[in-house]
Structure 1
Amino acid sequence: MFTQTAFLALVAGASAHIIMQSPVPFAWEDAGTKQFPLEVSQFPCKQPSGAYKVTEMNQWNAGETKGVKLIGGATHGGGSCQFSITTDTKPTKDSQWKVIHSVIGGCPGGSPENQNTSDNPEDPNIPEIDVKMPDDLPSGQYTFAWSWLNKVGNREFYMNCAPIQVGSASEASTASADVSSVLGSLPDMFTINLPATECANTIYQDFEYPNPGQSVVRSPTAQTGSDTVGSGCAAMEKLGAGKGSLGSPSQGTPSTPSEAPASSAVPSAPASSAKPIPTAGPDNGVTGPGASSAPAAQPSAQPTTAPSTTPSEGSADCTPCTNDGAVVCIGTNQYGLCNRGCAVAQPLAAGMACVDGALAAAVKPRHIHFPRAHLRRLAH
């Protein structure tokens, strides 16, 4: 039986979603939501303003294998994940991502029977995942990404990105080398659940990527499946292809890491907050392959400041609230977590209800049965 204690445990896990720790990601534009799944407006990399502030340039040689470190307790029963790179240092929706490694089942670890392994957002117990940078990859700066399709829970898409400086394994490998000759045959990153209302993978399946690439690890306990649901899958699954062509890696000397932005500090609001509900962006379609264009000019990097207690801008589903970190009842069958003056409505679990503004077990209506003979006597 689903209890209020179990419900609150699930709510606590909302702030413990998995994030990439190493290679070191770009500075988070909003540290308070860094562990939330990606919304379509944040694709790719959860950098909606395009700032891409480098806190540390990660060194990675061609042909070298490194362990990718993930942290967090909400492993959602595992799932499948991919590791991809693009030649763009500030990726946009036009960027093409090439998969260099796929894991089917057991990513990012944890028990397949349990949704979460802990409520600790810094849980370090996830095993590192070995990823090899392609041999003969031309030297220069790239962007590396980890993307994840969770097995249990809401249908979501997670994606973290990090800047990398690729060193050549041989002196002959330079920027003048053809990147396409190394990456061109690799599959594009698979995307889905952006948003899940238009295309989603099936719950309780370790997703079987249509084309996982040349480097693949499969969990021996994986419960694989490739079922998808929705009318928008044809376009959504190709978001990782961008405009269909690769550029050349930047050869500039890695810049001095920028100062940590305000958003990297501990947020004023508690980490536990409601997961934003994905909304469809203005264009989920994918243009046909063509000449790659440089990313649009990005706005000047400004520190992200925590919003005031007014609801977050642009959130049509935001319910104003005042008690940050508290569970808020919204109507009788929805709840939200108050985060900086905003609670995003989510459906209550079966067996729960909001009664007088507080969570409680739902009370089944009582039906009184009168025998027909008794009803006839009452009618006289």
Structure 2
Amino acid sequence: MFSRANLILALAASATAHMFLEYPVPFGRETLTSSPLAPGDFPCKQRPGVYDVTEMNQWNAGDTKTISFIGSAVHGGGSCQFSITTDTAPSEKSQWKVIQSVVGGCPSNVTGNLTPVDPAGHGAATFPVKMPESIPDGQYTFAWTWLNKHGNREFYMNCAPVQVGSGSGKATTASASKTLSTLPDMFVANLPDTSCSTTEGEDFNYPDAGQNIIEGNGASLGATLNGAGCSTMTKMGAGNGQIGTPTLPQTPSQPEGSSKSAASPLIVIPANPGGVFAPGASSAPAASSAPAAEPAAPVAPVASVAPVAPVAPAQPEAPASNTPSTPSGCTPCTNDGAVVCIGSNQFGLCNRGCAVAQDLARGMSCSAGAVVASTKRSFQFPRAHLRRHGSSRFV
């Protein structure tokens, strides 16, 4: 008989399901799900409220921050990239530049999935990532992208707002281009896998991973791509090939009523607490050098949201619908937070009336709103360490 303890672990794993970004704090934290991207979701997992700023993450030039995740379904690891763009509400035209690649062992170097070390879903590895030292002040968008090793051929992407410096400097297209043009473009595949897919069982070896690389110990490297659409899909991260100018936030010295648009107020995020850190990584990232300024009066943030479609100006009397459109693959539900069984081998978590289908792990089944094990299995997986390319080695 399946023990009560294992049943609790199985339910916890199904609740956290796939992986999503914990730090830096992502856009639209309340609407972000852990499912992979579907065609049309690129970039940043498009949805209503996709660029709502939950918290502005302060990340100064030259500072190293620790990237962390929530979830347990790491699909045997795989390869990840950490990228930035100058656009604060990225679109398909945005150009993404990779500041670090992880080849194998991301988001964890295990043979299957994880048993979280706490109910919040922590347990995946964390990664120290350095912001380029010469990047000019301004607001950027950070992205984590993941090509999983085992299971369906999928592409994951979460985005977060970051602010570099205090905004007192003058950022230009030329100054941003000088720093970012030397970095590789983000790599995209499996979107969808019928057009261009990586090979199951391989830790994808990016053709241009850049100078900052971490390689998982014992990684099964491979760069095999399948599909007629690879020549186009793999270049999606290059956008229109224009880096652009980072947005400068309004500073306290700017006179009230200035013609410049007010940006989101600065919120300094403390160093990420806890987590399972990549070996050799500091558990206390450098604190921000920018002091928190106390404004004379509260300033309402202005969301820099790029509309999905233009609003028709000729019908002002037509009331706007408050009901978001139902995304593709959504199963309607009424009990938020409940497990929804979708067929015999898929499930979803009810989130604002929508359950997105996710594949069950091998040996699991969904019945009457509960995920249970159809066969007895172990929840313990071996953990391995990571090592960084170059002269240093993680131990």
Identify the TM-score tier after normalising by the shorter chain: 0.5 to 0.7
Q: 2:196 aligns with which of 192, 196, 199?
A: 199
Structure number, greater radius of gyration: 1
State the Cα deviation string for residues 171-216 of structure 1 (Å, max 9, x = none).
9x63135211111121110011111222111111111001001111
CA distance in 2, matches of 1:157, 1:121: 26
Structure 1 residue 53 displacement after superposition: 1.3
CA distance in 2, matches of 1:360, 1:79: 25
Q: 1:174 aligns with which of 170, 173, 177?
A: 170
Matched with 1:151 is 149
SS in 2 for 1:160: strand
CA 1:29/1:233 → structure 2, altered by over 3 Å: closer, same or farther? Answer: farther
CA distance in 1, matches of 2:199, 2:358: 20
Aligned pairs for 1:1-380 (under 5 A) are 9=10, 13=14, 15-28=16-29, 30-31=31-32, 34-49=33-48, 51-111=50-110, 113-118=111-116, 122-167=120-165, 174-176=170-172, 178-253=175-250, 254-256=263-265, 313=326, 315=328, 325=338, 328=341, 330=343, 335-337=346-348, 339=350
Of the structure 1 ranges 239-248 and 150-159, higher mean CA displacement relative to structure 2 is found in 150-159
CA distance in 1, matches of 2:373, 2:103: 39
CA distance in 1, matches of 2:66, 2:240: 30
- 8 Å Cα contact 1:138/1:168 also seen in 2: no
CA distance in 2, matches of 1:352, 1:165: 42
- 8 Å Cα contact 1:12/1:119 also seen in 2: no
Structure 1 residue 62 displacement after superposition: 1.0
CA distance in 1, matches of 2:364, 2:106: 31
Of the structure 1 ranges 48-57 and 236-245, higher mean CA displacement relative to structure 2 is found in 48-57
CA 1:136/1:76 → structure 2, altered by over 3 Å: closer, same or farther? Answer: same
SS in 2 for 1:178: helix
CA distance in 2, matches of 1:142, 1:245: 14
SS in 1 for 2:75: coil
- 8 Å Cα contact 1:322/1:338 also seen in 2: no
CA 1:95/1:232 → structure 2, altered by over 3 Å: closer, same or farther? Answer: same
CA distance in 2, matches of 1:155, 1:44: 18
CA 1:13/1:155 → structure 2, altered by over 3 Å: closer, same or farther? Answer: farther
Of the structure 1 ranges 205-214 and 226-235, higher mean CA displacement relative to structure 2 is found in 226-235
Letter in 1 for 2:24: P
**Normalising by structure 1, what TM-score?**
0.68
SS in 2 for 1:41: coil
Matched with 1:376 is none
CA distance in 1, matches of 2:42, 2:220: 28
State the Cα deviation string for residues 74-109 of structure 1 (Å, max 9, x = none).
221111100000000000111000000001111112
Structure 1 residue 47 displacement after superposition: 3.3
CA 1:298/1:155 → structure 2, altered by over 3 Å: closer, same or farther? Answer: closer
Structure 1 residue 129 displacement after superposition: 0.6
CA distance in 2, matches of 1:354, 1:250: 47
CA distance in 1, matches of 2:62, 2:121: 30
CA distance in 1, matches of 2:140, 2:366: 49
SS in 2 for 1:42: coil
Letter in 2 for 1:229: N
Letter in 1 for 2:47: P
Structure 2 gap ranges (5+)? 1-5, 251-262, 268-303, 311-320, 375-395
- 8 Å Cα contact 2:195/2:229 also seen in 1: yes
Structure 1 gap ranges (5+)? 259-293, 362-380
Q: Give the length in aligned residue pairs.
A: 307
CA distance in 2, matches of 1:239, 1:107: 22
- 8 Å Cα contact 2:186/2:238 also seen in 1: yes
CA distance in 1, matches of 2:330, 2:71: 26
SS in 1 for 2:59: strand
Structure 1 residue 140 displacement after superposition: 0.6
CA 1:116/1:352 → structure 2, altered by over 3 Å: closer, same or farther? Answer: closer
CA 1:353/1:182 → structure 2, altered by over 3 Å: closer, same or farther? Answer: closer
- 8 Å Cα contact 2:347/2:357 also seen in 1: yes
- 8 Å Cα contact 1:323/1:338 also seen in 2: no
Structure 1 residue 63 displacement after superposition: 1.4
Matched with 2:381 is none
CA 1:174/1:202 → structure 2, altered by over 3 Å: closer, same or farther? Answer: same
CA distance in 1, matches of 2:56, 2:347: 37
Structure 1 residue 236 displacement after superposition: 0.9
CA distance in 1, matches of 2:68, 2:266: 21
